[in-house]
Amino acid sequence: MLLKNKFNLKIFLFLILLSKILSAEENENLIKNKISDYLTKTVEFSSKFIQTNDEMLQEGKFYIKRNRLRIEYISPSKLIIIVKENNAMYYNVDLEEVQYFNPKNTIAEIFFNLFYDLSFLDEVEISLDKTHFTLTKEQKIDDEKNIIKIIFERSPLIMRKIEVTNSNGVTTFGITDQNYNPELDDKIFSLANPLLS
């Protein structure tokens, strides 16, 4: 009788553990679906950000629309970076300097993948707390491992922070004043040399 009770107790504990595992997987799938809906409904996006990297702090705004990204650094230096799929421009407003570069294998890939690649949410680890949840994903960029953390507020669902860790250290983008589908003018993504206008 004692053996039978111990066996029943083990089955009972196993079933509780199994239900918790299934419930956690259900929660993860629910969160992934919520985020997927959130991102696919966001055709255009703009926000302010505070970027920290080691001892450096920068403020700015960023805009994204159909695989185009514009980053405006306001402080401490005025810089504009515009990225399209195969070309990008770096414009130092203070120094009146323009450079063009290939955006492949840059951190811009993270933003494009997050907003426009539905498979980006595959293989993410999700950690939860009462007010936030964090998605963690490893992504190689130019053969370098990057650990990406994206932190969302739970209710309402809002992206609050993107953190990228690689051999250069940790770069964090604190995101504020989010504007979803703001009808951005295509001209702000122009790669025309601003010094020639």
Note the pLDDT tens digit of each residue in 14-65: 445 544 443 444 467 777 778 878 777 778 889 999 999 877 899 999 999 9
Average model confidence (pLDDT) for the chain?
Answer: 83
> What's the pLDDT score for residue 1?
46
Residue 145 predicted with pLDDT over 80: yes
> What's the pLDDT score for residue 8?
54
Q: Is the pTM of this model over 0.85?
A: no
Question: Burial letters for 153-189: b for 16+ Cβ neighbours within 10 Å, e otherwise?
Answer: eeeeebbbbbbbbbeeeebbbbbeeeeeeeebeeeeb
Q: E-strand spans in the chain? A: 44-53, 56-65, 68-75, 79-83, 88-92, 97-101, 125-128, 132-141, 144-153, 158-166, 169-180
> What's the pLDDT score for residue 41?
76
Give me the residues paired with residue 75 across strands.
59
